[in-house]
Amino acid sequence: MAETPRADLLVLFGAAGDLARRMLLPSLYFLDFDGFLPEGFRIVGAARSEMSREAFVDLVRTDLAARSEGLDETVWTRFSARLDYVAADATNAEGLASLTPHMQGAKRPMFYLALSPSLYGRVCVALAGAGFATDESRIVLEKPIGRDLESSKTINISVGAVFDEDRIFRIDHYLGKETVQNLIALRFANTLFEPLWNNLTIDHVQITVAETEGVGDRWPYYDEYGALRDMLQNHMLQLLCLVAMEPPSDMEPDSVRNEKVKVLRSLRPFTRAEVQKDSVRGQYTAGVVGGREAAAYEKERGEASDTETFVALRADIDNWRWAGVPFFLRTGKRMPERRTQIAIQFKPVPHSIFGGPASEDLVANRLVIDLQPDEDIELLLMNKAPGITAGGLRLQSLPLSLSLLRTYEGPGARRRIAYERLLLDVISGNSTLFVRRDEVEAAWRWVDGIEDAWREAGMSHRPYAAGSWGPAGAFALIERSERAWLD
Ligand code: BG6
């Protein structure tokens, strides 16, 4: 991969916001801890509110000290020296004037917009107006890029008028997760799986992203988006792409992204009839999660709303490799447990040679990739139950496990924040793990089709109790094809 000169300055817009404080600044600190930040790399927090540099540094320190990893004073001394703060209105060039002194000497600045996507276009125009959007600068955008295809195009056009595509880094933090990258390694660094990775051997795929948290005070954002736009359009489709894509010829950004976009374009659009059969929208009512009472979404929202907090659907990929292999996707808030998992269910053996009780023991192989809460990859294989069993041979399904926690645990081992990898990649100018414009738009095109079909079919949400696995329809959806969710 061609070496791109590393960025030397990060301007973090939205520096006092939740994402910056919980994820981005800690990620930068850990990158510094591990010696990954370039020498002289500076970080300027920017937000509308007036705050002194000292107050900002104190805020960052308090956040870091509150984390379970604790604060290393030597690293903190180095890290805090990189920090600065400026009050700025990023939506117009005049409002950015206060940033000018901080830009002095920066050859390759990167701008991170931890802001509402509705501001992306204006901020880019303002950056250009202020003279900060140079040929060597980079821009980082958080999801969601728009709310549908049309609004995402509007954002992409305004950002693209200022920054070339290879300088735009659209973040999907799922691509920074260790196990997601490991999926690429598993598929393309082993000869074992590729010959089996198709409709001859695979029965179906399940992707589950279940969260125990509710929407809480994020409802003003969430109510506009719902589970389909908040999780499925981006994180879940990215996971689906990595499972389903053809082997790229190398890890160059465009090689990987060309393959992902082909998958997105092969997703079968929903008709009104199919959407009623093959998708379910749910919204949580009051219930109990992890032994604690949880309020209904409507209560948090303050009034009735048709926004879905759960979605399950069957996706079909119309190409040679995947014809006839359904991908069942489900995601929801206030589920009984936190679980992010991809399961590849293989077909049963074509003929069983085992008679007697062993014939009942026989289950098909399964590859389970756990992303959260634990990172693990397990291949379930049949083997003979040990010893002598009455009535003849017995079989059992046992996992071959690549437990990442166990394999890599040891002094100093810690679970990385997904943003660490991604921030480092922006610094280094490597966009392989970022989402290209045509990918975002292909994902929206498919998702818009679902929204349209829901509307045409008049499909409102079905209630489910907080702490359950979603509405009954989610079970019927998968059972209709004689399969079941892995619970
Ligand atoms: C975000 C969504 O992109 O991802 C949130 O907006 C969701 O609603 C979060 O909770 C889940 O991320 P993770 O890494 O905790 O699975």
Instruction: Read off φ and ψ for residue 400, nearest 5 degrees.
Output: -90, 120
| pLDDT per residue as tens, the chain (487 positions) | 556 789 999 999 999 999 999 999 999 999 999 999 999 999 999 999 999 999 999 999 999 999 988 899 999 999 999 999 999 999 999 999 999 999 999 999 999 999 999 999 999 999 999 999 999 999 999 999 999 999 999 999 999 999 999 999 999 999 999 889 899 999 999 999 999 999 999 999 999 999 999 999 999 999 999 999 999 999 999 999 999 999 999 999 999 999 999 999 999 999 999 999 999 999 999 999 999 999 999 999 999 999 999 999 999 999 999 999 999 999 999 999 999 999 999 999 999 998 888 888 999 999 999 998 988 999 999 999 988 887 788 999 999 998 866 666 655 567 889 999 999 999 999 999 999 999 999 999 999 999 999 999 999 999 999 999 999 999 999 999 999 999 7
Q: Give residue 406's pLDDT.
A: 61
Q: Give residue 413's pLDDT.
A: 67
Tokens describing residue 125 = 């125009």
Q: Give residue 355's pLDDT.
A: 84
User: How far, in Å, is the centroid of ligand 1 from the Cα of 120?
Assistant: 20
Whose Cα sits closest to atom 9 in ligand 1? Answer: 231
Angle at 13 between CA 12 and CA 16, to 5 degrees: 90
Q: Give residue 4's pLDDT.
A: 75
Q: Is the peptide bond before 144 cis (omega within 30 degrees of 0)?
A: yes
Q: Give residue 1's pLDDT.
A: 56
Catalytic residue among 102, 235, 351, 461: 235
Residues 324 and 334 sit within 8 Å (Cβ to Cβ): no
CB 303: neighbour CB atoms within 10 A? 7
* CA–CA distance, 384 with 218 (Å, rounded to integer): 51
Q: Is 278 in the pocket of ligand 1 (CB under 6 A)?
A: no
* CA–CA distance, 15 with 113 (Å, rounded to integer): 9
Residue with tokens 């880019």, as numbered in its chain: 124
State the helix-helix crossing angle for 237-244 and 437-457, rounded to 10 degrees: 120
Q: Is 230 in the pocket of ligand 1 (CB under 6 A)?
A: yes
* CA–CA distance, 157 with 141 (Å, rounded to integer): 14
User: How far, in Å, is the centroid of ligand 1 from the Cα of 139?
Assistant: 22
Q: Is 172 in the pocket of ligand 1 (CB under 6 A)?
A: no
Residues 6+ positions from 98 with CB-CB distance below 8 Å: 86, 87, 88
Q: Give residue 399's pLDDT.
A: 94
Decide if 235 is catalytic: yes
Q: What is the SS3 assignment for 148-196?
A: CHHHHHHHHHHHHCCCCHHHEEECCHHHHCHHHHHHHHHHHCCCCCHHH
Q: Give residue 412's pLDDT.
A: 55
Q: Which overall architecture, per CATH, does domain 175-479 show? A: 2-Layer Sandwich (3.30)
Nearest ligand 1 atom, CA 222:
8
Residues 6+ positions from 119 with CB-CB distance below 8 Å: 90, 91, 113
Residues 389 and 361 sit within 8 Å (Cβ to Cβ): no
Tokens describing residue 484 = 């079941």
Chain centroid offset of residue 473 CA: 25
* CA–CA distance, 339 with 302 (Å, rounded to integer): 28
Q: Give residue 167's pLDDT.
A: 96
Was domain 9-142 assigned CATH 3.40.640.10?
A: no
Domain ranges of the chain: 9-142, 175-479
Q: Which of 179, 317, 170, 197 is nearest to 253 (CA)?
A: 170
Q: Is 211 in the pocket of ligand 1 (CB under 6 A)?
A: yes
Compute the chain's Rg from CA coordinates: 24
